[in-house]
Amino acid sequence: MPVLLQPAYVLHSRAYRETSLILDVLTEDYGKVALIAKGVRNKKSTTAALLQPFMSLLVSYIGKSDLRNLSHVELNLPITGLKGVPLYCGFYLNELLNHFLQTNDPCPEIYQHYQQCLDLLQNNSGNIESALRLFELNLLESLGYGLQLTYDFQQEQPIDSEKKYHYIPDQGPVVAENGSFSGATLKSLQAKSLKNKQTLTEAKQLMRQVIDFHLQGRALKSRSLIRATQSKIK
Protein backbone atom coordinates (compact mmCIF):
# COMPACT_ATOMS: atom_id res chain seq x y z
CA MET A 1 0.00 0.00 0.00
CA PRO A 2 1.24 3.52 -0.71
CA VAL A 3 2.10 5.79 2.21
CA LEU A 4 0.15 9.03 1.89
CA LEU A 5 0.91 12.49 3.33
CA GLN A 6 3.26 11.29 6.04
CA PRO A 7 4.82 14.04 8.23
CA ALA A 8 8.55 14.01 7.51
CA TYR A 9 11.88 15.84 7.46
CA VAL A 10 14.75 15.35 5.00
CA LEU A 11 17.89 14.29 6.87
CA HIS A 12 20.25 13.91 3.92
CA SER A 13 20.18 13.93 0.13
CA ARG A 14 22.58 12.90 -2.59
CA ALA A 15 22.53 13.12 -6.38
CA TYR A 16 21.36 10.06 -8.28
CA ARG A 17 21.94 9.74 -12.01
CA GLU A 18 21.41 12.94 -13.99
CA THR A 19 18.20 14.41 -12.60
CA SER A 20 17.24 12.53 -9.43
CA LEU A 21 17.97 12.52 -5.71
CA ILE A 22 18.18 9.78 -3.10
CA LEU A 23 16.83 11.01 0.22
CA ASP A 24 17.12 9.82 3.79
CA VAL A 25 13.88 10.98 5.37
CA LEU A 26 12.68 10.87 8.98
CA THR A 27 8.96 10.12 9.04
CA GLU A 28 6.64 10.31 12.02
CA ASP A 29 5.19 6.78 11.79
CA TYR A 30 7.73 4.76 9.81
CA GLY A 31 11.10 6.00 11.09
CA LYS A 32 13.92 6.62 8.64
CA VAL A 33 13.10 5.69 5.06
CA ALA A 34 15.10 5.91 1.85
CA LEU A 35 13.32 7.55 -1.09
CA ILE A 36 14.23 8.22 -4.67
CA ALA A 37 12.94 11.55 -5.99
CA LYS A 38 12.95 11.10 -9.75
CA GLY A 39 13.54 14.07 -12.02
CA VAL A 40 13.62 16.70 -9.26
CA ARG A 41 17.00 18.07 -10.40
CA ASN A 42 15.52 18.89 -13.80
CA LYS A 43 15.49 22.67 -14.39
CA LYS A 44 11.70 22.68 -14.77
CA SER A 45 11.07 20.88 -11.48
CA THR A 46 9.81 22.89 -8.50
CA THR A 47 9.99 19.95 -6.09
CA ALA A 48 13.70 20.23 -5.29
CA ALA A 49 13.12 23.50 -3.42
CA LEU A 50 10.97 21.61 -0.91
CA LEU A 51 13.41 18.76 -0.36
CA GLN A 52 15.66 20.72 2.00
CA PRO A 53 16.66 19.91 5.60
CA PHE A 54 14.57 21.28 8.49
CA MET A 55 11.43 21.86 6.40
CA SER A 56 8.31 20.24 7.85
CA LEU A 57 6.87 18.21 4.96
CA LEU A 58 4.11 15.82 4.06
CA VAL A 59 5.41 13.08 1.76
CA SER A 60 3.75 10.28 -0.14
CA TYR A 61 5.66 7.32 -1.52
CA ILE A 62 5.21 3.87 -3.02
CA GLY A 63 7.31 0.76 -3.53
CA LYS A 64 8.18 -2.56 -1.94
CA SER A 65 11.99 -2.37 -1.80
CA ASP A 66 14.13 -0.53 0.76
CA LEU A 67 14.36 2.34 -1.73
CA ARG A 68 10.82 3.69 -2.29
CA ASN A 69 9.63 6.15 -4.93
CA LEU A 70 8.62 9.62 -3.78
CA SER A 71 5.27 10.38 -5.42
CA HIS A 72 4.26 13.66 -3.75
CA VAL A 73 5.63 16.29 -1.36
CA GLU A 74 4.15 19.45 0.16
CA LEU A 75 4.81 21.78 3.05
CA ASN A 76 3.33 20.70 6.37
CA LEU A 77 4.19 23.74 8.51
CA PRO A 78 5.31 27.26 7.53
CA ILE A 79 9.02 27.76 6.88
CA THR A 80 10.92 29.42 9.72
CA GLY A 81 14.51 28.51 8.86
CA LEU A 82 17.77 28.10 10.74
CA LYS A 83 20.75 30.45 10.57
CA GLY A 84 24.25 30.65 12.01
CA VAL A 85 25.07 28.29 14.88
CA PRO A 86 21.50 26.87 15.06
CA LEU A 87 21.80 25.85 11.39
CA TYR A 88 24.93 23.77 12.03
CA CYS A 89 23.35 22.38 15.20
CA GLY A 90 20.50 21.20 12.98
CA PHE A 91 22.98 19.45 10.70
CA TYR A 92 24.41 17.82 13.83
CA LEU A 93 20.97 16.45 14.75
CA ASN A 94 20.53 15.08 11.22
CA GLU A 95 23.95 13.46 11.25
CA LEU A 96 23.27 11.83 14.61
CA LEU A 97 19.98 10.43 13.37
CA ASN A 98 21.52 9.11 10.16
CA HIS A 99 24.20 7.29 12.15
CA PHE A 100 21.96 5.88 14.87
CA LEU A 101 18.66 5.07 13.15
CA GLN A 102 18.01 1.86 11.26
CA THR A 103 16.00 2.12 8.05
CA ASN A 104 12.28 1.26 8.32
CA ASP A 105 12.31 1.09 12.12
CA PRO A 106 9.33 3.09 13.49
CA CYS A 107 10.37 5.62 16.16
CA PRO A 108 7.57 8.18 16.66
CA GLU A 109 9.04 9.39 19.96
CA ILE A 110 12.34 10.27 18.25
CA TYR A 111 10.42 12.21 15.58
CA GLN A 112 8.73 14.22 18.34
CA HIS A 113 12.04 14.89 20.14
CA TYR A 114 13.58 16.01 16.83
CA GLN A 115 10.69 18.35 16.05
CA GLN A 116 10.80 19.86 19.54
CA CYS A 117 14.55 20.46 19.31
CA LEU A 118 14.20 22.09 15.87
CA ASP A 119 11.50 24.37 17.29
CA LEU A 120 13.88 25.49 20.04
CA LEU A 121 16.67 26.11 17.53
CA GLN A 122 14.40 27.97 15.10
CA ASN A 123 12.82 30.19 17.74
CA ASN A 124 16.02 30.73 19.74
CA SER A 125 13.99 29.84 22.81
CA GLY A 126 16.04 28.58 25.73
CA ASN A 127 19.66 27.53 25.75
CA ILE A 128 20.93 25.86 22.54
CA GLU A 129 23.42 23.70 24.44
CA SER A 130 20.68 22.51 26.78
CA ALA A 131 18.40 21.69 23.83
CA LEU A 132 21.14 19.60 22.17
CA ARG A 133 21.99 17.70 25.35
CA LEU A 134 18.36 16.84 26.02
CA PHE A 135 17.92 15.66 22.43
CA GLU A 136 21.00 13.43 22.76
CA LEU A 137 19.69 12.01 26.04
CA ASN A 138 16.25 11.32 24.60
CA LEU A 139 17.68 9.80 21.41
CA LEU A 140 19.89 7.34 23.28
CA GLU A 141 17.09 6.52 25.69
CA SER A 142 14.63 5.82 22.87
CA LEU A 143 17.15 3.49 21.19
CA GLY A 144 17.83 1.50 24.36
CA TYR A 145 21.19 3.15 25.08
CA GLY A 146 19.94 5.28 27.97
CA LEU A 147 22.55 6.51 30.45
CA GLN A 148 22.71 5.00 33.93
CA LEU A 149 22.89 8.10 36.13
CA THR A 150 21.44 7.07 39.48
CA TYR A 151 24.21 5.17 41.28
CA ASP A 152 27.93 4.30 41.42
CA PHE A 153 28.01 0.92 39.67
CA GLN A 154 31.06 -0.29 41.64
CA GLN A 155 30.01 0.72 45.15
CA GLU A 156 26.27 0.52 44.40
CA GLN A 157 25.73 3.81 46.18
CA PRO A 158 23.40 6.65 45.07
CA ILE A 159 25.04 9.55 43.26
CA ASP A 160 26.34 12.18 45.69
CA SER A 161 26.14 15.78 44.47
CA GLU A 162 29.35 16.64 46.36
CA LYS A 163 31.50 13.91 44.78
CA LYS A 164 33.33 13.54 41.46
CA TYR A 165 32.87 10.66 39.03
CA HIS A 166 34.29 8.99 35.95
CA TYR A 167 31.74 7.61 33.51
CA ILE A 168 32.06 4.19 31.84
CA PRO A 169 29.72 4.32 28.81
CA ASP A 170 28.37 0.77 29.02
CA GLN A 171 28.22 0.65 32.83
CA GLY A 172 27.74 4.07 34.40
CA PRO A 173 29.38 6.39 36.94
CA VAL A 174 32.17 5.41 39.32
CA VAL A 175 33.34 7.73 42.09
CA ALA A 176 36.85 9.16 41.63
CA GLU A 177 38.67 12.05 43.29
CA ASN A 178 39.92 13.26 39.90
CA GLY A 179 36.67 12.49 38.11
CA SER A 180 35.55 14.71 35.23
CA PHE A 181 31.90 14.90 36.22
CA SER A 182 30.30 16.17 39.39
CA GLY A 183 27.48 14.28 41.04
CA ALA A 184 25.42 17.45 40.63
CA THR A 185 25.81 17.25 36.85
CA LEU A 186 24.82 13.58 36.78
CA LYS A 187 21.72 14.37 38.82
CA SER A 188 20.86 17.26 36.52
CA LEU A 189 21.14 14.98 33.48
CA GLN A 190 18.97 12.39 35.20
CA ALA A 191 16.35 15.08 35.88
CA LYS A 192 16.83 16.51 32.35
CA SER A 193 17.31 19.95 33.82
CA LEU A 194 20.47 21.68 32.63
CA LYS A 195 20.74 25.29 33.78
CA ASN A 196 24.12 26.48 35.07
CA LYS A 197 27.30 26.86 33.01
CA GLN A 198 29.32 24.13 34.77
CA THR A 199 26.54 21.61 34.38
CA LEU A 200 26.22 22.37 30.66
CA THR A 201 29.98 22.12 30.12
CA GLU A 202 30.28 18.78 31.91
CA ALA A 203 27.11 17.45 30.28
CA LYS A 204 28.51 18.24 26.82
CA GLN A 205 31.74 16.40 27.65
CA LEU A 206 29.87 13.38 29.01
CA MET A 207 27.41 13.12 26.11
CA ARG A 208 30.25 13.37 23.60
CA GLN A 209 32.08 10.54 25.39
CA VAL A 210 28.99 8.31 25.34
CA ILE A 211 28.01 9.13 21.76
CA ASP A 212 31.57 8.52 20.51
CA PHE A 213 31.50 5.15 22.26
CA HIS A 214 28.38 4.13 20.34
CA LEU A 215 29.64 5.59 17.05
CA GLN A 216 32.67 3.26 17.27
CA GLY A 217 35.12 5.57 15.56
CA ARG A 218 32.79 7.17 13.00
CA ALA A 219 33.37 10.93 12.88
CA LEU A 220 30.67 13.62 12.89
CA LYS A 221 31.53 16.35 10.36
CA SER A 222 28.99 18.77 11.82
CA ARG A 223 30.99 19.11 15.05
CA SER A 224 33.85 20.87 13.26
CA LEU A 225 31.37 23.15 11.46
CA ILE A 226 29.82 24.20 14.78
CA ARG A 227 33.25 24.89 16.30
CA ALA A 228 34.32 26.95 13.30
CA THR A 229 31.11 29.00 13.35
CA GLN A 230 31.34 29.65 17.08
CA SER A 231 34.97 30.76 16.69
CA LYS A 232 33.99 33.31 14.01
CA ILE A 233 31.25 34.71 16.26
CA LYS A 234 33.68 35.09 19.18
Does 187 share its domain with 89? yes
Supply the range of the domain harboring residue 207.
84-233
Distance CA 103, CA 30 (A): 9
Distance CA 203, CA 207 (A): 6
* Bridge-based pairing state of the strands 31-37 and 67-75: parallel
The SS3 assignment for 27 reads strand
Does 129 share its domain with 189? yes
What's the mean pLDDT in 102-113?
96
Inform me whether the pLDDT recorded for 234 exceeds 60: no
What's the mean pLDDT in 45-52?
92
Distance CA 123, CA 39 (A): 34
Residue 229 confidence (pLDDT) = 67
Q: How many domains does the chain have?
A: 2
Residue 80 confidence (pLDDT) = 75
What CATH number has the domain bearing residue 65? 2.40.50.140
Inform me whether the pLDDT recorded for 30 exceeds 90: yes
**pLDDT top residue among 125 and 42:** 42
Q: How many helices (H) and strands (E) does the chain have?
A: 6, 10
Residue 125 confidence (pLDDT) = 62
Between vectors from CA 67 to CA 97 and to CA 74, what angle results, nearest 5°?
70
Does 124 share its domain with 193? yes
Residue 124 confidence (pLDDT) = 72
Most confident range (mean pLDDT) of 39-48, 53-62, 77-86 is 53-62
Inform me whether the pLDDT recorded for 23 exceeds 90: yes
Does 46 share its domain with 96? no
Q: Of the candidates 75, 107, 136, which is a domain's last residue?
A: 75
Between vectors from CA 215 to CA 209 and to CA 219, what angle results, nearest 5°?
90
Inform me whether the pLDDT recorded for 126 exceeds 80: no
Residue 219 confidence (pLDDT) = 83
Residue 139 confidence (pLDDT) = 98
Residue 127 confidence (pLDDT) = 87
What's the mean pLDDT in 142-154?
95
Inform me whether the pLDDT recorded for 34 exceeds 80: yes
The residue type of 110 is: I
| DSSP codes joined into one string, 57-90 | EEEEEE-SSSEEEEEEEEESS------HHHHHHH
- Are the beta carbons of 21 and 15 closer than 8 angstroms? yes
Average pLDDT, rounded, for the chain: 92
For CA atoms 70, 76, 82, 88, the dihedral sign is negative
